Each structure stands twice: as C-alpha cells, then as structure tokens.
Amino acid sequence: MADADLLIEELSTYLKPKDVERVRVAIEFSRAAHQGQMRQSGDPYVSHPIAVARVLTPLHIDAQAIIAALLHDVVEDTDVTSEQVAEKFGKPVAELVDGLSKLDRIQFETREDAQAENFRKMLLAMARDVRVILIKLADRLHNMRTLESMALDKRERIARETMEIYAPIANRLGLNDFRHELQDLSFKHLHPNRYSVLSKALKVARGNRREVVSKILDAIRQKLADANIQADVTGREKDIYSIYQKMQSKSLAFAEVLDIYGFRVLVNDFASCYVALGLLHGLYKPIPGKFKDYIAIPKMNGYQSLHTTLFGPFGTPIEIQIRTHEMHKIAEAGVASHWLYKSGHDSINDLHKKTHQWLHELLESLSQSADSSEFLEHLKVDLFPDEVYVFTPKGRILSLPRGATAVDFAYSVHTDIGNRCIAVKVNHELVPLRTELRNGDRVEVITAPNAKPNPAWLSYVTTSRARSNIRHFLKTMQSGEAAKLGERMLNQALNALGIKPQDMDEAHWNRLLKDTGVRTREEIFADVGLGRRLNMVVARQLARIGDATTGEVTSNAVITIQGTEGMAVQFAQCCRPIPGDPIIGVIKSGQGLVVHTHDCPTLRKGRSGAEQWLDVVWDKDINRPFDVSIKLLVANRRGVLAKVAAAIAEAEANIENINFTHEGDYSGLHFTLEVNNRLHLANVIRNLRKVAEVERIIRVKNSAG
C-alpha cells in the first residue's frame, strides 16, 4: 500500500528500527480492524488513520503517538477494546486512544451537549498528555482535506466547529501551519463562493507582483549582507483566510489589499534581530504604529519575533518578520517542538510549562460550567487569539484577551483578588472596573476584606476564568442565603398547619429526603427559598410523614424581612418598598422571594396562584438604607436644584440618581434616594416642602420593573 510505505519511509528518518517495526504491526492491526469499512469518499477506511499518522511525521513525534494515530478509531468504530490495545501496544498507547475516542455510546439530549462532553474529555486527556491534541488536530486536518464527500449541512457544521475550536487550539499551541490550513479549509466550506473568487484573484496577483517581490527580496538580502549579517530571507504569500479577514476588518476590496506577500528574515542570534530591524528601517521607511516586539514580550503560545511594516517600492506595504532560527523552530512547531528538537532549550521547556499551566487553568474554569452552552462559551472565549499585555505593580507581565477589563485582570492575578476587588488604578489613575485594558497598561487592584462580586460584572468580563468564578461565587452565595430564607418559610408553613418545626426530627427528614431524591435538608431549604418548591407543599409532605397535621391551616404565621437576606430576597423595582410600607411577598422560581408594597400597580395586574404568595412583615430592627423614588415639580428658577439637594442632605438622605424633565414653566426632578424607612422619607418630604420653589411632591410607585 503506497501511503503505508511512504509513512514507514518518513518514520525511518528519525525513529529507531525497533520502533518502526512496531508501527508496521500497528498498520496491519488497524487494517485488519477496519477490514470492509469504507470512507464516504469510497476509499478503504484504513487510508484515514495512515494519513493522520503522516500529518504528524514532520513533527518527529514519537512511536507511541504514531501508533495511537493509526488506532485512534479502532475502539470507537470496531469491536477492538481498550484492553486489547493495551495488551498489544502498551498502556500509554491505550490511554492516548481512549483520550481520542468520542462519547457516542452515551446518549445526550442535544448535539451541543454531546459536543461539549467530547471537548471536555479531550481537554482532560490533553492535560494528562498533550500528544492527544496533536493527534486530534491531525485527525481533524485530514478530515477537512477530504470534506467534499460529506453532505452540505454536515460540511458546514464541521467547518464551523473547526474554525471556532480546533484552529484556535492549534494557534494556542503554536502550531501555525496547522492553524492556517484549518482556517483556509474551513473558510472554503463555509463561504465557497468567496473562497473561489479570492483564490482566482490571488493567482492573477501572484503573476503580476512576481517582479516586485523579487526586487524586494534582493534589496533586503543585499542590505543585510553589506552589514555582515548572515540571514535567510524568504518571501511568503499570505493564506486566503487572512487576506479575507483583512478585507472584512478594514472594508477593503481585494485590489486594495497590497500586502498579500510577507517576508521572513532568520538570523543567527538575538542581537542580530534588532540590528537587522534597524537596517531594514533604513532601507524602507517604517509605517508608524505597525511595529510589535514579540521577542521581549512573547505571545502566550511561545511565539517570538519582531514584526514591522514598511513602505516598499511603488508604495507597496511590506510586512516583515525577523527572528532567530531557534525562534523559528518554535514558531512553526509550537508545543510539538519538544519532539522535533531535542535540544533541552529553555524556550521550549518554558513553552511546555506555560501550555500545561494554561490547560489546568482552563479546565479549572470549565469544570464550574453548569451546562453545555456555558462550557462551549467559556472554551471559545479562552481560545480567542488576540491578546493584550499588561503589567502588575511589580512589573510582572500578564497576557489577557483583547477587550479584557480590569475585573478580568483581577481574576487573572488570583481568584480571591477578583472576588474582593472594589476599585482599580490603571497607570496610577482610578478608572471604572469595566475599563478595557490596552497594551502596556500598569494595573493595580484595590481590594476590601468584605467585598464580593457584583452580578453586573458578568455583562462586561471576557475571560472564562473571571466569568466562571463570578458565577460560581454568586450561585454559592445565593444558595446559602436562599437556604436560610427557605428554612424560615418552611417553618412558617409548618406553623400554619399547627405543627411545631422542632417536632420534625431526623427520621422525618430522612424519609422526606429519600422520597424526593435530595441529598440534604439544606438543598430542600434552598429550593424553597428560590421558589423551586412551595413551602406549603413541603410542609404537607413532612406532616404526612409525621402524621402530625391538625388538618386546620392557621394564618397567623408570617415571614419577617430583616433586610440582610442578600440575593435570596429582592425588593421590587416597580414599587421600591421601604420599612413601614405594608408589604406582600411573591415567590418566583429561581429568583427567590420578591417583596412588593400592598398597593403596587404591577402586583395588582399579575396576581395569581394563591400558594405562591406569602404574608411578610418588616423586622423591627432594620438598620440599612433602601432605595425610594420621588418626583418633584419645581418652578424654573436659578439655584433651585441646589436648594432641593441641600434640603435632602439636611434630612440625612443620600441622592443615588437624578433626572430632569421640562414641563412648561416648571421642571420635573426625578430622584432616587436612600432612606432608612417610611418615617425617614416623611422627614425628607417635610424638608422639601419648606423649599418655596417646590410645587408638588410625589412618591413614585409605578416605575418599570
């Protein structure tokens, strides 16, 4: 078989004869296992694993990984078991094959659930052994090369998944050749017409610009040679997808994309990179703002190079990369450089440490994802390729995705720093927490011992680490607060049934937990507090178990609102109740108890379901401020706002927000104030009535909410 012979020939250049022989055995084993199976293209199935193994040979990957590539589908698609693979080729090969096997034998509700679990398993296997992802990427690359034989909808689904997940993983691991080909093939199947047009235009341009490229190459080589800089200079054509991206991002036609060629300069040592840069800036003028030093600050995937863009002959922009031969090895092979170059070089070792650290941090954040859509969202965000580099106060460099905020930075330093963050300084100036960070920013996080994450942060953080930690903290906090509220609500319901809560002993609770399939009574309390279970229903279940109900429901038990329940109790924005107002509570599933005023207009419209409503009263000793809305109609005179603000301040109330409306000769002042209770509000209103310009004062109870 020609492909098998080519594989053996390629492996013989770097593997020991005994390892090559083991690969021969694996080829025959794979051929026998897949006997009679055909690909969609009509080729024998065994041609696929052999092709996958050949994709890996330029990386000089070891015999175990090559054998795993040859057997990567045998456990999934044939009668061969993992135990048989382990017995024949050893446990490490069997573990690699297992990490590559899909979870088709498990039934999932949706394709998204199955996809999420496949990626989760792949990442776990990858954290143990990075060879798993190298084989998986080779597998995906060969599948993309032969995708034409698939149905159109399947082609599009696989291409989109490749573009969103696999190409970014290849980029994150520094496998540039893999990434570019995966992106081009995905683009070809997602946008076939655009790909075809650009491909033809590129062929035409290639012929037209050959003379210009040759002239630039000669000029660069001559300039470096005159300065006694030994360098390999090559020109390269940009791949179609990167040209398309440039056209999209800058709204250009193809004819306007002048820099379809890039040039690479490889020198012998670190210092020569910067000398070569200076020489080329003397040869052609640099374009301001187009220089990047990835040598001083390498990318997260270990990539190092100097990037500059110059004004070439005929006004053509020239993109140039300058790096050493050692840097080039890592730039081309990324994490696989460990197998390709057994030099023990510090850069390669450092790259492996960074890769494993990234994997473990990614898995830590993904492990907190509650469902498949959240998991895939975190995964895609974490693989986002663009990066910004910022500094801690001690000069440590942190890499974050483009668009990352100060909160993302805080969580990247440490989870506790993020959870206790209250403010941030960027370049020694206080800025809002939602501020997007830029390259070179110096960021200092200010924390407080009792601070906690704000749910609003979820609307602007970008990293999966920050998002998952915020969600985890809020869920844990809400669950704890809801459990305390739920216990009080359940006790109220038991009292209403004429049962003393303390009479429900361990035996009663154990029976209820067994009947409901819940592990602990705290979970029952949390479900009641969050509205997932009705307190009266749970109370009746307990009563039946204890056979203790009188059969009469009393109505004198109420829930006391203390104002310290946190996220488990919400005060409705439509009516903004404050202590002293007659109130009523409604349980909303997943949200907990929402407190309204008795006369809330929104409440009257939607009131239904008697068992979802609770009698609630204010605790006598509440000591915290509450928001209240008032509207003032005032005469349009100079200084009136200052007088109104002074009257509010004199009553020791705080102004949270203010809006203006014009109503003829009068103005409407809409305030959101912080007051302690209804008596405090009355004092505020009394002070405002003393202001001569104030014509009318209304407490607003029908705002949207």
Whole-angstrom Cα distance, residue 383 to residue 182? 15
Residue type at 640 in one-letter notation: V
422: its two tokens: 């209250």
Residue type at 60 in one-letter notation: H
Whole-angstrom Cα distance, residue 616 to residue 585? 6
- CA 651 to the chain's CA centroid: 47
Q: How does strand 613-618 pair with strand 654-663? A: unpaired
Task: Report the DSSP beta bridge partners of residue 667.
Answer: 634, 662
Catalytic residue among 3, 10, 19, 76: 76
Task: Report the DSSP beta bridge partners of residue 7.
Answer: none
Is residue 552 annotated as part of the catalytic site, yes or no?
no
39: its two tokens: 């690909």
Catalytic residue among 77, 259, 377, 523: 77
Whole-angstrom Cα distance, residue 642 to residue 647? 9
Q: What number of other Cβ atoms are within 10 A of residue 65's Cβ? A: 24
Whole-angstrom Cα distance, residue 39 to residue 58? 25
Q: Do residues 422 and 447 make contact, with C-beta atoms less than 8 angstroms apart?
A: yes
HSE-CB for 386 with a 13 A CA cutoff: 7
Q: Do residues 560 and 511 make contact, with C-beta atoms less than 8 angstroms apart?
A: no
What secondary structure does DSSP assign to 289-348, as a single string?
Answer: T--EETTTS--TT----EEEEEE-GGG-EEEEEEEEHHHHHHHHHGGGHHHH--S--HHH
HSE-CB for 68 with a 13 A CA cutoff: 29
Is residue 371 annotated as part of the catalytic site, yes or no?
no
Tokens 């994997």 found at: 359
3-state secondary structure of 185: helix
- CA 18 to the chain's CA centroid: 45
Catalytic positions, written as ranges: 76-77
